[in-house]
Structure 1
Amino acid sequence: MVAVKSPLDDAARKTTGEALQGALVDLIDLALYAKQAHWNLTGRNFKVVHEHLDEVVDLARQYQDEVAERAVAIGVNPDGRARTVADRTQVPQLEAGHLADDKVVAAVTDVLAQLIARFRERVAATDEPDPVTQDLLIEITAALEKQHWMFQAQV
């Protein structure tokens, strides 16, 4: 087995790895959450919300990969297995069945706010140990905040 030699010392790698793993779990579950809402959406604003949810899915999937690859680059193995995500997610689950568009917009707005708060904590945590990872987390936070603004405007 060939391990990637980390450019970070052990303490910095541990802090940064934890931030990246948390981000990975959040992004994987955000993609699943938005897709579940997308499939079960009903209501007068169906088309707009339906398409907007796919933007969130695309954003989450894009950044999942970047977060996981950053983890590997610093010598940390990312864990995106279904069991890991299910055990560690902090994203509340949607109810089963048809979902009214107004309830989905409110729920997605809330979930995005929760993720943004956690990403901001990760940005602060990685300031000293790894500014490169911090830059990635700042970029993701900005993208999440843009989506939050767009969903919040529909509430």
Structure 2
Amino acid sequence: MAPITSPLSGEAKTTTAKCLQGALMDLIDLSLVGKQLHWNVIGPNFRSVHLQLDEVVSLARAHTDIVAERLVALGANADGRAATVSKSTKLTQPESGWIESGKVAATMTDILDGVSKRMRERIDLTDETDQATQDIIIAVTQEIEKQRWMFQAMS
């Protein structure tokens, strides 16, 4: 069976695939970290933080599939295996056990800030290599930054 070919070639394909794979790692781990915090949040703002974490998980999961399928459409393999995520994640991992709602909001603000910065770097890198991919990353960044704002307002 022939592999999937790409409309991109050379450095454009390599750079774009790296950006998409990095975005995939951020989104997969964001969904995992979001659920970890969702299950263990306690405190006076429990309900609002708990529900806001579900929004983050939903957006991460929705964009994960879009990013992975774009990667494959460009003729590269999407690698979302747990071992790959564990080895390459850039997200700060939350502490174990119960975490007070204010601390969860501050932690998620920091995590989303890091994801946003990496997504913005990917926007810049894909400006000349593949603007269709850039549009996907821009859409992810808009939602990440909206969530960052909401968590920052809670902390």
Superposition TM-score, scaled by structure 2 size: 0.99
Taking the aligned partners of 1:10 and 1:58, their CA distance within structure 2 comes to 34
The yes-or-no answer on 1:8 pairing with 2:18 is no
Structure 2 match to 1:57: 57
% same residue: 53
Q: Secondary structure at the match of 1:153?
A: helix
RMSD over equivalenced CA pairs, Å: 0.6
Aligned length: 155
Structure 2, unaligned runs of 5 or more: none
| 1:22-33 equivalence runs, <5 A | 22-33=22-33
Corresponding residue SS for 1:44: coil
Match of 1:19 in 2: 19
Aligned equivalent of 2:82: 82
- CA deviations 1:34-72 (Å, max 9, x no partner) are 100000110011111101000000000000000000000
Q: Paired residue for 1:116? A: 116
| 1:151 counterpart residue number | 151
How far has the Cα of 1:11 moved from its partner? 1.2
Structure 1 distance, partners of 2:60, 2:143, is 10
One-letter amino acid of the counterpart of residue 74, structure 1 = L
- Structure 1 runs of 4+ aligned residues shifted over 4 Å read none
What is the rounded CA distance, in whole Å, between the counterparts of 2:2 and 2:94 in structure 1? 41
TM-score normalized by structure 1?
A: 0.99
CA apart distance, 1:2: 2.8
Give 2:71's aligned residue.
Answer: 71
Task: Give 1:26 shift.
Answer: 0.3
Residue type at the aligned position of 1:77: N
For residues 133 and 105 of structure 1, the distance between their equivalents in structure 2, rounded to whole angstroms, comes to 30
Q: Deviations over 1:94-153 (max 9, x none)?
A: 111001000000000000000000000000000001000000000100010100111111
**Could you say which residue in structure 1 is the equivalent of 2:105?**
105
Alignment-derived partner of residue 141 in structure 1 = 141
* Amino acid of the structure 1 residue aligned with 2:101: D
- Paired with 2:111 and 2:71, the residues of 1 have a C-alpha distance of 24
